[in-house]
Amino acid sequence: MDPEGLSGLNAPLLAWFAGARRPLAFREDRSPYRVLVAEFMLQQTRSNVVESYYRRFVRRFPDVVALAEASPEEVLAHWQGLGYYARARRLHEAARRIVAQHAGMVPRDPQALRALPGVGPYVAAAVGAFAFERDEAALDANVRRVLARVANVLAIDERVAAALVPPGRAREWNEALMDLGATICTARRPRCPTCPLTDVCRANRAGTQELVPARVARAVRPVVLRCLVAVRDEELRWGLVRRPPRGLLAGLWEFPSADGADPAAALATHDVWAEGLTELPPFRHTFTHLVWDVRPFLARGGGPLRWVRPAELPTVPLTGPTVRVVRHVAGAAPGLSK
C-alpha cells in the first residue's frame, strides 16, 4: 500500500468531521490525565457507554494524585458496572507510578508512557495524539476498519496509517476516523451512500466493503451453571463475600456463590446458614470468554460475611450478578443504576 495513493481521504474526511464531530464528555478536557482515564475506559467499551462512567470517575478523582491516593476498593466502586475491572486496577497502579516516578505528571516521553501499567501501543498513541498533539495514528477498531476499507485490504499496515496523519492535525484526524467508523462505516451494513469518503474508498468501488477488514471468528464460550444466594440478616443487611485477589472479577464483592445448581453448595462454601430460600428469576451473565447461567435465591440467614446496609452498597465494588439481584429485590438502589 502506498500512503500517497490514500492521502486523498484527508480533505473530505476533515471537512466532514468539522460538522459531524460527536460531543463526547471525554473530549471536553484534553489534559493528559483525563485522556489517560478515558482511553483506559474506552478499551473494549463503546463511547456512549463510557460517558456517564467517565464523568462520575473524574468527579471523584479529578487528578492523578487523587486517584493515586485512593484505596483499590474505592477505585473499583467508582468503576462499578463498566466491567473489565483489570483496567481499573492497572489505571490505579499507573497513577501511583506517575506520582512516585514522574512527580504526578503523565509522562510525555513515549517510552516512559509505554512503561506504565496497562499502557500498550494504542493507549500510548492515543495519549500522544490527543493530549500531547503528536502526529500519531491511534488505531482502534473503528480506525482500522475505515482505513482497511479505503485501501481495500484485509488489514491496514500501521506504517501506512502513521504516514497518512496530516502534520499538526493528529487529534482531528484520529477523532474523525473514529466517528466515521462509529456512525457510518460500521462493521455491519455500512452506510456508504452517506459517507464522505465514497469517491476515494476502494472497497466501495469494488463492492467489498462488507468483506474487509478480515473478521476474526469468535471462539465458542463455555456456559457454566452458577448458583447464587442473596442472604439478608434480621436487620435487612446484605451478606457479601470477597472474590479472590486474582482471576475472574478479582477482588469484587458478591453474594455466596458456587458452580452448579445447588444453593446448599454456595452456602457451605462460605459457612453460611440460611432459611426460607426463595428462588428468583434466572438470568445469563456474559464475559468475553465465559457465560454464567445464574440461578439466584433469596434467603434470611447469617454467618461470617460482610454485612452491608442497602444505603452502603454504592461504596462497595460488586459483581454484575450481585447488582442485578439487588435491583430485582429492592429496586434500583441509589448509585447502582447504570
Distance (Å) of CA 7 to CA 11, 32, 147, 197, 207: 8, 29, 11, 11, 21
Active-site residues, by number, are: 39
Cβ neighbours of residue 260 closer than 8 Å, sequence gap 6 or more: 225, 226, 227
Instruction: Report the alpha-carbon distance of residue 265 to residue 293 in Å, rounded.
Output: 16
74 φ/ψ sector (left φ>0, alpha ψ -120 to 50, else beta):
alpha
- For residue 139, what is its C-alpha cell? 488505531
Cβ(284)–Cβ(294) below 8 Å: yes
Distance (Å) of CA 194 to CA 38, 191, 212: 29, 6, 19
Residue with cell 485501501: 151
CB atoms within 10 A of CB 3: 15
